[in-house]
A and B are shown apart, each in its own frame.
Chain A
């Protein structure tokens, strides 16, 4: 338990990169990138967790309660939404590539370049 969350984050990162490397379809590759991104959230939140802590939101908890680290949560939170728009940008690039070159296979694309 003491290292499992970190190791899971590492596994998600590796499997995501594996998908990126072996992908035959750019849309699939963008999906794999989304998976890889999520490993960072798992790692950040795992680092910020404290046993017996609760969320640092004091609307329904006493202000002296033991809380988990809010800083890493703030980092992960904004990155998730910004990451989604970047995913959109990449998908838009894929649509453009398909229009220009008629394929979304990365290997076929590199052949086009010669």
Chain B
């Protein structure tokens, strides 16, 4: 299909979608008005389980089984990426040149690093109390680790980031989730039922198993994102293509064609 035909097919489809979607929008209840029966029940259920953050309660208690599914998608996506981005037999590694970093930037990054890690862990730990949780905090923690890449260079990051540990961490997070689910079965109830004592509303130890599952997800997301970024960094900074390159033109895309201004002339 040529690109012109493709564009026409899209335009026809888009016009149809736009018309139907607009009609549906005007039939929807007006923005901000309708009652939400499911929402109201979810709030009741969360409060009866002493979980202050209803969203965390929905994710890790009421719909914990769905979250197991989501987590598995994450798990397999990370595994898939690791497999796709592994070093092939015909590729070789090149040590990246050590970088020179402007001293204020280095100081700032080194000072912020522990603090940023702390913020990430805080967001994970307070998941059932205030906005936050394993999914969000995990990403923050993983990103914070990469301040080291800014502060020094890639090799410094590699030295303090034992990748195997994070790969194990990811699997452990997934396993902890499933084990918590089976613990409920052993306790004589259904898979992933909240069997732990609920604690006091709005304290760190509230929410029963929601707290445990939240921590498991936090571990998995942190490790998963670290592993992902590590693989991409590996490919971009260290691994070189085999010597198949003989000066043939490369199509690097960039159809707009303004790749030339990526570097400001010094």
Binding site for B on A (CB under 8 A): 1-7, 10, 13-14, 17-18, 21-28, 46-51, 53, 55-60, 63, 67-71, 73-74, 77-82, 84-86, 88-89, 91-93, 95-96, 99, 102-105, 107-108
Contacts and interface: CB of A to CB of B under 8 A. Distances in A.
B77 A57 contact: no
B139 interface: yes
B80 A92 contact: yes
B47 A55 contact: no
B231 interface: yes
B6 interface: yes
A3 B25 CA distance: 6
Nearest to B77: A85
Contacts of B33: 50-51
Nearest to A10: B21
Nearest to A24: B255
Interface of B: 3, 6-7, 10, 14, 17-18, 21-22, 25-26, 28, 30-34, 36, 38-39, 42-43, 46-47, 52-55, 57-59, 63, 67, 70, 73-74, 77-78, 80-81, 84-85, 88, 129-131, 133, 135-136, 138-139, 201-202, 221, 224-225, 228, 231-232, 235, 241, 248, 250-255
Chain B interface secondary structure, helix, strand, loop or mixed? helix
A68 B26 CA distance: 21
Contacts of A107: 3
A81 B81 contact: no
23 contacts: A2-B30, A6-B28, A17-B14, A22-B7, A47-B28, A53-B32, A56-B46, A56-B53, A56-B54, A57-B52, A59-B202, A69-B38, A70-B54, A74-B58, A77-B55, A77-B133, A78-B59, A81-B139, A82-B77, A86-B77, A88-B232, A96-B85, A108-B251
Given A3-B31, A22-B3, A92 B255 contact: no
Given A10-B21, A81-B138, A89-B80, 16 more contacts: A10-B17, A14-B18, A21-B7, A22-B10, A28-B253, A50-B34, A58-B54, A69-B36, A70-B57, A71-B36, A71-B42, A71-B58, A73-B58, A78-B67, A103-B252, A104-B251
